[in-house]
């Protein structure tokens, strides 16, 4: 009996058996965060691809939407809301919408712009119970066409 009390064989295996569920959850959680960030980057890149299409080929709603959906290998990225074309003047806060033909502050004519949006939803690998099971990412990209 005394020999069994001092015997430490198998302790490492028992500790490993206790810790493996915690370590597995940590690996899955870190992987899940990485995949969520990757989906966010895909949405941002898709919006930029749509704006680049509009710059290169002009405003074409279906062409821009196709550029957004085909920008990445993700199948659930959509051009939502649909691309819009508008006249605007650049300001320090962005582009303000004005009537076409308006003279902007500084004397330049209002330019033609497009705003392209992309959206996708990411679903977590497991249900964590303390955070949402899905996240919707959206991005916009505005570019001057003329």
Most distant CA atoms of the chain, gap in Å: 97
The domain containing residue 56 runs over which residues? Answer: 2-144
The 10s digit of each residue's pLDDT in 4-30 is 676 777 888 888 899 999 999 999 999
pTM of the predicted protein model:
0.84
Interstrand relation of 94-97 and 111-123 (parallel, antiparallel or unpaired): unpaired
The 10s digit of each residue's pLDDT in 97-137 is 999 999 998 888 999 999 999 999 999 999 998 989 999 99
Mean pLDDT of the chain: 92
Are the C-beta atoms of 84 and 76 separated by less than 8 Å? no
- The structural domain count of the chain equals 1
């Amino acid at each position: 009996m005394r020999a069994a009390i001092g015997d430490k064989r198998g302790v490492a295996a028992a500790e490993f058996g206790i810790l493996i569920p915690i370590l597995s959850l940590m690996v899955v959680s870190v992987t899940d965060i990485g995949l969520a960030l990757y989906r966010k980057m895909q949405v941002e890149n898709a919006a930029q691809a749509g704006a680049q299409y509009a710059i290169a080929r002009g405003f074409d709603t279906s062409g821009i939407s196709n550029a957004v959906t085909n920008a990445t290998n993700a199948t659930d990225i959509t051009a939502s809301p649909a691309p819009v074309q508008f006249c605007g003047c650049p300001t320090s806060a962005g582009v303000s919408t004005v009537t076409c033909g308006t003279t902007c502050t500084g004397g330049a004519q209002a330019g033609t712009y497009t705003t392209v949006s992309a959206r996708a939803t990411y679903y977590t690998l497991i249900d964590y119970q303390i955070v949402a099971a899905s996240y919707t990412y959206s991005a916009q990209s505005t570019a001057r066409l003329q």
